[in-house]
A and B are shown apart, each in its own frame.
Chain A
């Protein structure tokens, strides 16, 4: 039955990707395609008083310069601009009016026959601003922070318990603003099909979200706009909401009645969403034996002036650790910047980083081994609602990860382990994420030659959705994977939400099962209808699809081939579509967990840090594909190393401008920074969460990694760095 699920199946789209056959949004073409280049605001707040495109329009090859004062109509109701995942507030509308809300805001689109011409002409657009006072510095504006939704209700009296605790640890941890920097640039090719119809190739994590959004913004009927995003070169959350280039490309296509492509530059992508800078204040109170009496976690994060973006930074402690008193709060400071957005493990990557550094500091104060402290506070229930988990093998993560890493050989004293000129540090941390699942519909078309096409509007943002959909379909239909073709990311295909939150693996896999079951029933029916059918007397439930046959379970050997069954009824194809909804289960918590172990080697005099080993032991239910799954976790670990040591969007608050808006100066790890990464999938059978026991892997890989490294840096040097990233200057005396 499971020829493919749970195996290290290679990506079915791998060949297309490495040979260049896979086409991305900015690579589609059309007759008469023209190109748009974005002109951006260079002030953080104010008004455009004059925008003069005369010189730009004189350039040969320039067709149009669209501005707030010169463009086709855009919806004026806020509701129209609210996409499926928009936060509270009034969404940003590109080229809508003369107001400047953030540096890098698009204020004009120059459209020309050639991209280079548009880019050149963009430099000739003259803009005069009336600049208003502005603020972009979270730390300076911290006093203005105002309470957002509370992730969890308080328990007991954390303040009093903290004051009374035998041992206390309390500190601020600062996670800077970070940008996603997916390899693929943001791009849209809007193809003018005539008759008011548009086909939009967009870099997005949700084609149906973009489709509905465009219909609302441009007052179009659903059948007039089709959105496709067959391949996505990484997005990491930055593509959950429609980005402004899709509006601009479509606006220009409508203005010119031509096909238009808009590709942002790397620099312009720093004007999109980002992981918000957050001050994480954590206070822990404990008894000498490590029992926690109080946990308090307050996050103060950046948002824009026009939307309130917040994620769950602070609630994780309640799930991870037993404590009779707890208090959590999330505050926002609105600044003259664009709205933050989801970025891999939003909330958790930052919040758990602070929590797990704080736990390490507490362990040091208590003279307890960091794992021992975590086991002491281990909770088999999610305490916020007092619920048991569908499954939770975090203990196994600690045990197996620790064993693989050699944790038992750790000398707990800081600066106690060294190798030549390098100090050696070992640190660990816990990771946690949710196991979400969403309604998804899948269509399967089975043809009499034993081939099936599986289709769904879901995107594959590089995570391997194409492949797992094919694996599950192959197993459920009893066909070789070569006989399965998968179509994704077309808004005309069956319903799917945006791809994010680690929910797509479980959601799409079960949708495939649902549609495959419909196909099976139909095939059984057809097989039984054949005169003298060997399956005639069998109960439909006792018939499975296996090896291209419709076969009775067990050893009876009764079977009919798919072609025989279909051709007997003169059917060339069977088409079934099914929407899968997960039964609601409010009596259990659903989470993935990990234990991350890191080794750093730090040159004692020079502060140069090398992360020489990371072991990540993950409990995430059944792993559908151990190869793509491992890649997910490795990618998360690499990113966690970047979060710990490299990543930081640097802003000059005198100008309210990002000063390292390019990937030469915005550092992410390069090959030299990455050494051994060992991924362990801990067995976590879970027959409660869903039929296949799947939890999803997209986010869990990064959570905990930055803290494990920061804790290792402390263990190596005796220095506690609470402002990320940990650059070498912070380690020099």
Chain B
């Protein structure tokens, strides 16, 4: 760990000012990811700007019937909030599928969106990694890549985004609200995380001096037919090999609206408009689900050790859609897969 300065931001504008003034500065919220990376000398911020006391902890209804969630709402508070439970249970479920109770108590919404990949080479400063040190090469391409991406990869990086919450947010069509020196802006969550292309050091489109202030959920909330299905190497407290956020609306047995997002397979939550369009108007049958899964996984390319993810993802998509259609979502408390 390096020596760093510590400042506490008084308000959002102050945080932005502090960021702009010091190119090596980093925001810290719950610290559950950043501190780990600092201990490994992967992140070496010259300054930590503590935003944990900023008033970004509200969950409010928006004029159009959606919800606005402050960037500092702890993951646990969000997962157990009555409005989230009643209206966006997919999001609650995805959050509870991640990390441990203790981590979720500390972790913030903004930090969760910004958490970095778990690629082992990224964590080990003795190995080459383009994400950590651009231009040094990607050790995972021909190395240990069982946990790596099968979609949207590049020659420079095949890392995955590890967040569970983001997968549900992608499916729900969330917006990310950002404040920066040039004012405020918002982007769709699906545009917030980047693909690695030739700049894997950049995980998101967030500018250097910008801060996430909130996320916004649109009114469409899929309270009944949803499921978050996470497949991992032990039954709890492990990152996803593959995860699926599935949400549909049914008229009789016909699908009127469908959302699908995959986690653990790409540098960002993976959605395909084509796959979702293919479900609309169709009967909720395993065949149609399989077809949608194929569309979602179009272009998937395996590396030496992660080929299993393609078949696994396809099966997981089908299962999650069956769970959603029958309104028997995967329980995060009971580890048996419904």
Interface residues of A (CB under 8 A from B): 42, 116, 119-120, 123, 265, 267, 421-422, 601, 603, 605-608, 610, 645-646, 650, 652, 654-655, 657, 659-660, 662, 664-665, 667, 669-673, 727-729, 732-733
Q: Which residues of A contact B124 (CB under 8 A)?
A: 657, 659
Q: Is the CB of B41 within 8 A of A657?
A: no
**What is the bound-complex CA distance between A645 and B241, given in angstroms?**
15
Selected from B121, B236, B311, the residue in CB contact (under 8 A) with A670 is B236
Provide the B29-61 mask, 1 if CB < 8 A to any CB of A, else 0.
000000000011100000000000000000000
Contacts of B143 in A (CB 8 A): 652, 654
What residues on A are CB-neighbors of B120 within 8 Å? Answer: 650, 659-660, 665
Complex Cα gap A77–B231 (Å): 54
Q: Is the CB of B1 within 8 A of A123?
A: yes
**Does B5 make an interface contact (CB < 8 A)?**
no
* Cβ–Cβ contact B126 & A667, under 8 A: no
CB distance from A211 to the nearest CB of B (A): 33
Segment of B78-86, B180-188, B258-266, B312-320 engaged in the interface with chain A? B312-320
Interchain CB contact (< 8 A) of B144 among A645, A652, A662, A671: A652
With contacts A123-B1, A601-B336, A603-B337 taken as known, whether A665 is within 8 angstroms of B118 at the C-beta atoms is yes
B102 contacts the other chain (CB 8 A): no
A43 nearest in chain B by CB position: B126
Complex interface: chain A residues within 8 A of B127 (CB): 652, 655, 657
In the bound complex, how far is the Cα of B337 from the Cα of A481, in angstroms?
A: 49
A606 touches B237 (CB 8 A): no
Q: Contacts A659-B120, A732-B308: A119 and B235 contacting too (C-beta < 8 A)?
A: no
Q: Is B238 an interface residue (CB 8 A)?
A: yes
Closest chain A CB from B85 CB (angstroms):
21
Contact of A669 among B2, B41, B234 (CB under 8 A): B234
Task: Report if A606-B315 is in contact (Cβ < 8 Å); known contacts: A120-B3, A655-B127, A665-B118.
Answer: yes
CB-CB under 8 A from B112, the residues of chain A are: none
> Which 6 residue pairs of A and B lie closest in terms of their CB atoms, listed nearest first?
A672-B236, A42-B126, A672-B235, A729-B308, A659-B120, A605-B315
Q: List 10 A-B contacts (CB under 8 A).
A: A123-B1, A267-B40, A606-B316, A607-B312, A650-B144, A655-B127, A655-B139, A659-B124, A670-B234, A729-B241
B233 proximal to A (CB < 8 A)? yes
The 0/1 profile, CB within 8 Å of A marked 1, for residues 112-143 of chain B is 00000010110110110000000000010001
- Whether A727 and B233, one on each chain, are in contact in the complex, defined by CB atoms closer than 8 angstroms, is yes
Which size class do B's interface residues fall under?
A: 20 to 34
- Contacting residues, chain B, for A610 (C-beta < 8 A): 235, 335-336
- Could you tell me which residues of chain B, from 139 to 184, have a CB within 8 Å of some CB in chain A? 139, 143-144, 146
User: Smallest Cβ distance from B106 to chain A, in angstroms?
Assistant: 15
* Distance A315 CA – B120 CA, assembled complex (angstroms): 38
Chain B positions within 8 Å of A, measured between CB atoms, are 1-3, 39-41, 118, 120-121, 123-124, 126-127, 139, 143-144, 146, 231, 233-238, 241, 308, 311-312, 315-316, 319, 335-337
Q: A657-B124, A673-B236 are in contact. Are A732 and B312 (CB under 8 A)?
A: yes
Which residues in B have their C-beta under 8 angstroms from that of A421? 337
Q: For the complex formed, measure the closest distance between the CB of A267 and the CB atoms of chain B, giving whole angstroms.
A: 8
Known: A123-B2, A655-B127, A660-B120. A670 touches B337 (CB 8 A): no
Looking at the assembled complex, report how far the CB atom of A48 sits from the nearest CB atom of chain B, in whole angstroms: 15
Find the A residue at minimum CB distance from B146. Answer: A729
Most B CB atoms within 10 A — which of A650, A670, A729? A729
Docked pose: A262 CA to B312 CA in angstroms: 45
A673 to B3, CA, bound (A): 40
A36, chain B: closest CB distance, angstroms? 16
Give A287 to B236 CA distance when docked, in angstroms.
45
**CA separation between A652 and B118, bound complex, in Å?**
16
What residues of A have a CB within 8 angstroms of the CB of B123 in the complex? Answer: 662
How far apart are B175's CB and chain A's nearest CB, in angstroms?
31
| Complexed CA–CA distance, A607 and B337 (Å) | 10
| Cα separation A669 to B238 with both chains bound (whole Å) | 10
Give bound CA distance, A372 to B90, whole Å: 50
**A120-B2, A667-B233, A729-B308 given as contacts; is B238 within 8 A of A657 (CB)?**
no
Q: Which of B121, B126, B146, B234 contacts A673 (CB 8 A)?
A: B234
User: What is the distance, in angstroms, from A213's C-beta to the closest C-beta of chain B?
Assistant: 30
Identify 20 new A-B residue pairs, CB closer than 8 A, beyond the known A120-B3, A606-B231, A655-B126. Answer: A123-B2, A265-B39, A267-B40, A422-B336, A605-B315, A606-B316, A608-B337, A652-B139, A654-B139, A655-B127, A657-B127, A659-B144, A665-B118, A669-B234, A670-B234, A672-B237, A673-B235, A728-B312, A732-B308, A732-B311
Chain A residues, Cβ within 8 Å of B146: 729
A650 cross-chain contacts in B, Cβ below 8 A: 120, 144
CB neighbours of B41 from chain A (8 A): 123
Chain B: minimal CB distance from A669 (Å): 7
Contacts of B238 in A (CB 8 A): 667
Give Cα distance in the complex from A662 to B42, angstroms.
15
CB atoms of B1 and A672 under 8 A apart:
no
Q: How far is the CA of A603 from the CA of B40 in the complex (A)?
A: 37
Complex interface: chain A residues within 8 A of B235 (CB)? 608, 610, 670, 672-673
In contact, B234 and A733 (Cβ under 8 angstroms): no
Residues of B within 8 A of A645 (CB): 234
Please give, as numbers and ranges, the residues of chain A lying within 8 Å of B311 by CB-CB distance: 732-733
* Interface contact A606-B312, CB-CB below 8 Å: yes
Contact of B319 among A123, A605, A662, A727 (CB under 8 A): A605
**Given contact pairs A120-B1, A659-B144, A670 touches B315 in the complex (Cβ within 8 A):** no
Distance in Å from the Cβ of A163 to the closest Cβ of chain B? 38
**Chain B neighbourhood of A673, CB < 8 A:** 234-236
Bound complex: CA A42 to CA B124 (Å): 10
Nearest chain B CB to A104's CB is how many angstroms away?
10
